[in-house]
Amino acid sequence: MKSSYELAMERLNKTAPAVKLTDAKKKELAELDAKYAAKFAEREIFLKEELGKMREKGDFETYAQLEKQLVSERKSIAAELEEKKEKARQSK
C-alpha cells in the first residue's frame, strides 16, 4: 500500500516529469549559486557596516531604511539567481 505522499509524487511526475541534469548543467548551476552568494555577501557586508554607523549615530530612521534595503536586495538577488538558473536549466 502506497502512502499519500508516494501517490502525489507519481501524479506530479506524470504531469511534469523531473528534468534530468547533466554534470555540465549541475556545474553551471553550482557556479551560479556561488556567484550570487558572493554578490549577496558583498552587499550584506556593505549594508551591515552602514547599519552599524547609523546605530552608533542614533539615526534610527536611516537604520530602518537600510534594513529594508537589505531585505529588498536579498529578494532581488534571489529572484535574479532563480531566473538565471531557470534559463540554464532550459538551455540545451
Please state the pTM of the whole predicted model: 0.70
Q: H/E/C letters for each residue in 4-68? A: HHHHHHHHHHHHCCCCCCCHHHHHHHHHHHHHHHHHHHHHHHHHHHHHHHHHHHCCHHHHHHHHH
Domain count, the chain: 1
Considering the domain boundaries, does residue 42 fall inside one?
A: yes
| Domain ranges, residue 84 | 20-90
Residue 17 has a pLDDT of: 66
Spatial distance between the Cα atoms of 71 and 82, rounded to a whole number of angstroms: 17
Compute the average pLDDT of residues 37-59: 93
Considering the domain boundaries, does residue 29 fall inside one?
A: yes
Considering the domain boundaries, does residue 62 fall inside one?
A: yes
Identify the band that residue 20 occupies on the pLDDT scale cut at 50, 70 and 90. Answer: confident
Spatial distance between the Cα atoms of 3 and 41, rounded to a whole number of angstroms: 42
Considering the domain boundaries, does residue 8 fall inside one?
A: no
